[in-house]
């Protein structure tokens, strides 16, 4: 949230000389002599609904410029804005009434505070919720003065809230439970670095900790990231019978038991992401009971082996997307991949990172997964030219291929001159035995094929295979909405790096720091179509 559209939207050409600005009220009076042609102001003939539709396609800066054209445009711009991104410092409360008098149609709101500033408190959050009763999506970031009391007031006032994202707040599990227990339409929940770790779970009559409630009748997606008290959410995960997507990323604790229970209680899960969490084959066996599973990410889960993957492949035959980062542990290899090839004929996307598959499994995938459209081999030292030639000859449906940090040569790459007839994108990175001449020759042979070639040396690799993981976009809002930012924020990339460094120091999750970035780092957030930007 708070990002500009990925594709630049051309702004309408406005003749600024036709308008007179600065009438003392922050907008023009719209009575310049050039406004009229033959005595008619044609802009007045545009209905408010059409003008609002035009403004909808502009970014935040252009919308702000349009709002000062005249009083009518100022009014329509405010009435039609649905998305706001605000600096949630304590002083925000002073302008809440006037701000939401103008922007009275907001449905998507982000409240973000700088770590060095005092954030809004419960009273301010409740006041905002009273002025935004139609709110459907909310993101709270570093609002450290908000407690479970403010979250309860929010839930009671915003009955239409469907998506909630909470990052670096202090109210703990009880604050999340206040929202879940008072919402019948909440569909997506994302919780990252929740700081309130000392919540005391209630104990029911059977002596079981209730944690974050007993489930939700509406939740479809739960993402937990970098939590030290993630198990407090286990009852919520288990009890949410409509849950379709579950993402556990760098959360402390053993998750085998919870995943086993989820498999028994909710067989409707279609997407599961596990990244740097303590999960073994026991947890994978539990996942295998989700017979509708279509997407599975196993990223740096060293206790998972071929046995668990075989069980999943044999039971979850609807699997379409599989990402595995073996982290150089050599526990998932040919046996598991051969089972996937034989039992998952609908596989469309396969990403293998830091593993040791041989021709046995790679050949089986190429021969059996006839619908495979996206394939990535990253940091795999066992792949040979023969394997690449096999892929080129048998993967006729393949559209996008990434080969990164593998010991292939020009001979293997040359196979794509005639192989993979549907291939539209080929990325070859850090393969030191592939030369620029081979890439140039291939471009001449297949001019329609987009080739991304990088002949730089392979970076030193330890147990890490890639920085591919679940992207924090569970709460991503519609890109064509615009936003208002009262005060600019620091660079997000700098903040992310600082937070990651702190997390490494505190919890010691990351053994190594050298990564081989994979071409498909955005695949976790797309469906069947991948833009070329995924390979940039």
134 within 8 A of 104, measured Cβ to Cβ: no
Going by pLDDT thresholds of 50, 70 and 90, the confidence category of residue 212 is low
Cα 299 from Cα 309, distance rounded (Å) = 13
- Looking at 197-315, which runs of residues are DSSP E strands? 221-225, 245-249, 271-275, 295-299
* pLDDT tens digits, 7-58: 343 434 444 344 333 444 444 444 444 544 555 666 677 776 787 667 766 7
Side-chain-facing half-sphere of 454: CA atoms under 13 Å:
16
| Token pair of 445 as six digits | 């042979």
388 within 8 A of 412, measured Cβ to Cβ: yes
* pLDDT tens digits, 308-357: 999 999 999 999 999 999 999 999 999 999 999 999 999 999 999 999 99
Cα 335 from Cα 360, distance rounded (Å) = 9
Q: Residues 444-451: what's their mean pLDDT? A: 95
Cα 235 from Cα 233, distance rounded (Å) = 6
Going by pLDDT thresholds of 50, 70 and 90, the confidence category of residue 391 is very high
The domain limits of the chain are 47-81
Who has greater pLDDT, 183 or 487?
183
Going by pLDDT thresholds of 50, 70 and 90, the confidence category of residue 215 is confident
**Quick one: pLDDT at residue 440?**
93
113 within 8 A of 141, measured Cβ to Cβ: yes
Nearest to residue 325, comparing CAs of 225, 462, 466?
466
Helix (H) or strand (E) holding 263: helix 256-265
| Token pair of 345 as six digits | 């004929």
3-state SS track over 403-447: EECCCCCHHHHHHHHCCCCCCCEEEEECCCCCCHHHHHHHHHHCC
**Quick one: pLDDT at residue 456?**
60
DSSP readout, 489-526?
A: PPPHHHHHHHHHHHHHHHH---S-------TTTTGGG-
* Cβ neighbours of 270 (radius 10 Å): 18
Predicted TM-score (pTM) of this structure:
0.76
Cα 470 from Cα 247, distance rounded (Å) = 8
* pLDDT tens digits, 478-494: 334 444 444 434 444 44
Q: Residues 203-224: what's their mean pLDDT? A: 68
Going by pLDDT thresholds of 50, 70 and 90, the confidence category of residue 197 is low
Q: Residues 389-418: what's their mean pLDDT? A: 96
Residue 461 reports pLDDT greater than 80? no
Going by pLDDT thresholds of 50, 70 and 90, the confidence category of residue 149 is very high
Cα 367 from Cα 350, distance rounded (Å) = 14
Q: Is 271 helix (H, G, I), strand (E, B) or coil?
A: strand
Who has greater pLDDT, 215 or 113?
113
* pLDDT tens digits, 153-168: 999 999 999 999 999 9
Cα 350 from Cα 341, distance rounded (Å) = 11
Nearest to residue 310, comparing CAs of 288, 286, 289, 277?
288
Q: Residues 254-263: what's their mean pLDDT? A: 94
With a CB cutoff of 8 Å and minimum separation 6, the contacts of 361 are 333, 334, 337, 338, 341
Cα 455 from Cα 432, distance rounded (Å) = 6
Q: Residues 495-502: what's their mean pLDDT? A: 48
**Strand pairing class (137-141; 108-112):** parallel
**Quick one: pLDDT at residue 115?**
85
Nearest to residue 278, comparing CAs of 301, 296, 309?
301
**Quick one: pLDDT at residue 94?**
92
Nearest to residue 434, comparing CAs of 418, 452, 449, 447?
452
Q: Is 321 helix (H, G, I), strand (E, B) or coil?
A: strand
With a CB cutoff of 8 Å and minimum separation 6, the contacts of 85 are 1, 2, 109, 110, 112, 483, 484, 485
Task: Using a pLDDT cut of 70, give the percent of the chain over it.
Answer: 71
Q: Is 258 left (phi over 0), alpha (psi -120 to 50) or beta?
A: alpha
Q: What's the CATH architecture for 47-81?
A: Up-down Bundle (1.20)
* pLDDT tens digits, 59-112: 777 777 777 677 777 777 666 677 888 999 999 999 999 888 888 888 999 999
């Amino acid at each position: 949230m708070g990002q500009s559209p990925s594709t630049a939207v051309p702004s309408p050409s406005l003749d600024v000389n036709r308008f007179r600005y600065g009438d003392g009220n922050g907008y023009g009076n719209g009575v310049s002599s050039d406004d009229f042609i033959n005595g008619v102001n044609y802009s007045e003939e545009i209905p408010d609904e059409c003008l609002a539709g035009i403004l909808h396609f502009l970014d935040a800066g252009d919308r702000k410029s349009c709002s000062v054209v005249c009083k009518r445009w100022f009014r329509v711009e405010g009435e039609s804005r649905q998305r706001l991104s605000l600096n949630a410092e304590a002083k925000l409360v002073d302008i809440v009434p006037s701000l939401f008098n103008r922007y009275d149609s907001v449905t998507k709101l982000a409240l973000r505070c700088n770590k060095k500033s005092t954030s809004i408190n419960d009273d301010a959050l409740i006041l905002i919720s009273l002025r935004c009763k139609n709110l459907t999506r909310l993101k709270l970031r570093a609002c450290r003065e908000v407690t479970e009391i403010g979250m309860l007031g929010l839930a009671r006032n915003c009955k239409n809230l469907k998506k909630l994202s909470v990052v670096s707040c202090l109210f703990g599990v009880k604050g999340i439970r206040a929202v879940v227990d008072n919402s019948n339409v909440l569909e997506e929940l994302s919780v990252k670095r929740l700081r309130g770790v000392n919540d005391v779970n209630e104990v029911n009559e059977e002596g079981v900790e209730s944690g974050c409630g007993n489930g939700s009748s509406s939740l479809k997606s739960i993402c937990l990231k970098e939590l030290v008290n993630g198990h407090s959410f286990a009852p919520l995960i288990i009890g949410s019978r409509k849950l379709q997507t579950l993402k556990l990323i760098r959360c402390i604790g053993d998750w085998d038991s919870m995943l086993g229970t989820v498999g028994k209680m909710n067989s409707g899960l279609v997407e599961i992401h596990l990244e740097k969490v303590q999960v073994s084959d026991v947890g994978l066996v539990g996942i295998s009971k989700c017979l509708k599973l279509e997407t599975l990410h196993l990223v740096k889960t060293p206790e998972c082996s071929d046995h668990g993957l075989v069980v999943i492949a044999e039971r979850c035959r609807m699997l379409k997307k599989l990402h595995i980062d073996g982290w150089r542990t050599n526990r998932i290899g040919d046996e598991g991949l051969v089972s996937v090839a034989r039992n998952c004929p609908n596989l469309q996307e396969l990403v293998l990172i830091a593993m040791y598959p041989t021709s046995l499994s790679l050949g089986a995938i190429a021969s059996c997964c006839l619908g495979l459209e996206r394939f990535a081999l990253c940091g795999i030292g066992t792949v040979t030219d023969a394997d690449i030639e096999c892929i080129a000859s048998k993967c006729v449906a393949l559209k996008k291929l990434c080969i990164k940090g593998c010991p292939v040569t020009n001979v293997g790459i040359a196979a794509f001159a005639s192989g993979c007839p549907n291939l539209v994108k080929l990325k070859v990175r850090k393969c030191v035995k592939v030369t620029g001449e081979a890439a140039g020759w291939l471009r001449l042979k297949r001019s329609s094929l987009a080739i991304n070639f990088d002949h730089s040396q392979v970076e030193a690799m330890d147990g890490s295979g890639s920085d591919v993981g679940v992207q924090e976009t569970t709460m991503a809002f519609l890109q064509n909405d615009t936003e208002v930012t009262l005060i600019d924020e620091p660079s997000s990339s700098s903040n992310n790096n600082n937070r990651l460094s702190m997390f490494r120091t505190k919890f010691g999750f990351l053994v190594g720091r050298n990564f081989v970035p994979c071409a498909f780092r955005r695949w976790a957030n797309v469906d069947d179509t991948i833009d070329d930007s995924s390979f940039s």
